[in-house]
Chains A and B, each alone.
Chain A
Amino acid sequence: AQTVTQSQPEMSVQEAETVTLSCTYDTSESDYYLFWYKQPPSRQMILVIRQEAYKQQNATENRFSVNFQKAAKSFSLKISDSQLGDAAMYFCAYRSAVAGNQFYFGTGTSLTVIP
């Protein structure tokens, strides 16, 4: 099974500053999808951003962008101009494009935004 590793259990950032959350994964596949999900205290899981492995261009969604390094199997999330509403647990996830539909989730990073 694929494994997803988030090595930062907790991170903090000053409001309006930039923070980067790390994620690495292990796979022998060449075609897959990577995701970042946000889970605020309401516990709702919200899709933040998605990256297809065959695309070289890094995905961006407003203040959220990724640094996808396929060879290094790294998929970090950068949050620019951090806002108080960004405070949440962030989960990195992997999904194969060819074998099954299930996601493999990391253990999460708890992000605190300091006013």
Chain B
Amino acid sequence: DAGVIQSPRHEVTEMGQEVTLRCKPISGHNSLFWYRQTMMRGLELLIYFNNNVPIDDSGMPEDRFSAKMPNASFSTLKIQPSEPRDSAVYFCASSPGPHGYTFGSGTRLTVV
């Protein structure tokens, strides 16, 4: 089991550019979550999917953020256009049920 795989591990981009973060959940896990972690706000849930369907996107900060899960093995989080305040670590996590999440290693995004 390779765990939850996120890519890239680090991303540095210029303000205004489009950024796409990728996540491959653990096979068989039917729930997928995107979190953002910053020093100021801690861990914030952005959106989560059950069986590839978005269930709650109320944490998505604004329309610049979008997430998709076209199939059970892949999800993306896109920021367009990116801004310096989007700089954070973005985590993807998957879960087979009510027990603990398995987190990916995170993507550290820096927008300059």
Q: Which residues of A contact B (CB under 8 A)?
A: 33, 35, 37, 42-47, 50, 91, 95, 97, 100-103, 105-108
**Is the CB–CB distance between A45 and B55 below 8 Å?**
no
Cross-chain pairs A/B with CB under 8 angstroms, 16 sampled: A37-B103, A43-B108, A44-B106, A45-B93, A47-B100, A50-B99, A91-B43, A97-B98, A100-B55, A101-B48, A101-B50, A102-B48, A103-B101, A105-B42, A105-B43, A108-B42
Q: What is the minimal beta-carbon distance from B105 to any residue of chain A, in angstroms?
A: 5
Sort chain B's interface into a size bin: 20 to 34
- Pick the contact of B45: A37, A97, A102, A108 (CB < 8 A): A102
Chain A residues near B100 (CB-CB < 8 A): 33, 35, 37, 47, 50
Tell whether B56 is near chain A: CB-to-CB under 8 Å. yes
